[in-house]
Structure 1
């Protein structure tokens, strides 16, 4: 196994490199053996002092037991090593204070000021009680949500950006960040949720080979219809200036994809701001709600238009 590590530039980076080198050495030494850890007895002068003071040394010190530690299989060991390395790199990213890592898309919600204002108005018009986000990434949008003072929960699958965002969001007591897949997270979280709470779901966990959106929507519609759902990277049918994610047949974030998801009746809204008047990355988005009462409130927001 060979893991390439960039030349360290900081004390923390050097520590990360040292950990990686030690991990490589351990892996080579233990590739065909189980890990055996032996408890070391105290040095002889220390036991001698016990004898001189007529105090017996604790049982087992003179003849320490040999304990066999559980040993992971080769693939599991490698997977754990990769996770630990990515976690350390994430912490180093946070310590670097690199502006590009904190704001990779300019600002929250891809730096799209019209979308930010629309979501702000939705939070107050719909009287949102809590916010749940899937796909934390660097925590830029999560940090913006946190400043409303509402309970915020977010979930991320990647160890590196999870470690980064956990450090970034640690100053917000109203934010809980989880490591894991969005689908089991939503399933377990909504099973015990207060159905009377109006929740804003911000769905952004889709990326390359991972497209959990259909399952996310089915769980939300089943367990918490009293909600507003915002989906990032979504096609705006009549405005090609907004880009969207397309991962192949039946894997494009479009209204057709949603319509094939076997969902109950819902109300849908596109952004009213034309793409040429938007700022930032100009990524498309859509708003869904199964609740007719919430839909009536959303229709009062001029930055949204009914589909």
Structure 2
């Protein structure tokens, strides 16, 4: 190896070492949001969970049928993560509002949707605070909203409060809850073994008599992706009548 080649290699090694050191120091000093921004810069087209709706083709079809039967005025999502399902929602041409409680994932998705920030609004917030803010916003429509609740990974489950806020504020609207048990089918669902088992009994704690329940009609064996269950809720007879027409749903 010649002297010039050795010097060049040493220079490259030094540059790489200093660059990595600078990045590590920057991330250490800037926190999770900086990590999220860097992840986006390195891999902006990253897809999580195998595609929208956990990579579940049946769930995607179900959503498309709901939107065709009952076009929403806006879509609200809790639990943005990397924005894969958010991007799917953005296809429908209505405003999308999505909240993420983790700064790292919020920073990633905020950059991802910055080019379309006029119609995809990415918010760093607890889902309950986020929903109350929308409820108090006079410019946000108060009917025909599709809510996708997918922020149930941590010990502090917000689901019951989310439902109370939604049905206490919005009319003729639909809630879809991810990671929910489907009776008679082995779909995956949230169950931490300490009472937080997302199933019909969990919803019974709300004591609501105005809540209509639907489940996917597709057997778990025919679903793709991660095969997580879901439930669809509404609280008015007109919306119930429309949902009852869909072959992708069965009443609960």
TM-score range, shorter chain: 0.7 to 0.9
Q: What SS class does the counterpart of residue 97 from structure 2 fall into?
A: strand
Cα RMSD (Å): 2.2
After superposition, what is the alpha-carbon deviation per residue over 1:37-71, rounded to whole angstroms, capped at 9, x for unaligned?
xxxxxxxxxxxxxxxxxxxxxxxxxxxxxxxxxxx
1:195 deviation in Å?
5.5
Larger radius of gyration: 1
Alignment correspondent of 2:143: 197
Aligned-partner Cα distance in 2 for 1:219–1:264 = 16
Alignment correspondent of 1:52: none
CA distance change for structure 1 residues 147 and 12 in 2, over 3 Å: closer, same or farther?
Answer: farther
Aligned-partner Cα distance in 2 for 1:192–1:224 = 12
Instruction: Trace 1:65-80 onto structure 2 (pairs within 5 A).
Output: none
After superposition, what is the alpha-carbon deviation per residue over 1:182-241, rounded to whole angstroms, capped at 9, x for unaligned?
10110121123556530000000111313100110111111113210000000001102x
Alignment correspondent of 2:8: none
Q: Is the 8 A contact 1:134 1:203 kept in 2?
A: yes
Alignment correspondent of 2:43: 97
Q: What SS class does the counterpart of residue 31 from structure 2 fall into?
A: helix
Q: 5+ residue gaps in structure 2?
A: 1-14
TM-score, L = length of structure 2: 0.87
Q: 5+ residue gaps in structure 1?
A: 1-7, 24-83
Select the residue among 94, 97, 100 that pairs with 1:156.
Answer: 100
Alignment correspondent of 1:186: 131
Aligned-partner Cα distance in 1 for 2:109–2:158 = 21
Q: Relative contact order (C-alpha < 8 Å, sep 6+): which is higher?
A: 2
Aligned-partner Cα distance in 2 for 1:264–1:289 = 11
Instruction: Trace 1:51-200 onto structure 2 (pairs within 5 A).
Output: 84-97=30-43, 102-172=46-116, 173-193=118-138, 197-200=143-146
Q: Is the 8 A contact 1:12 1:92 kept in 2?
A: no
CA distance change for structure 1 residues 12 and 91 in 2, over 3 Å: closer, same or farther?
Answer: farther
Q: What SS class does the counterpart of residue 185 from structure 2 fall into?
A: coil
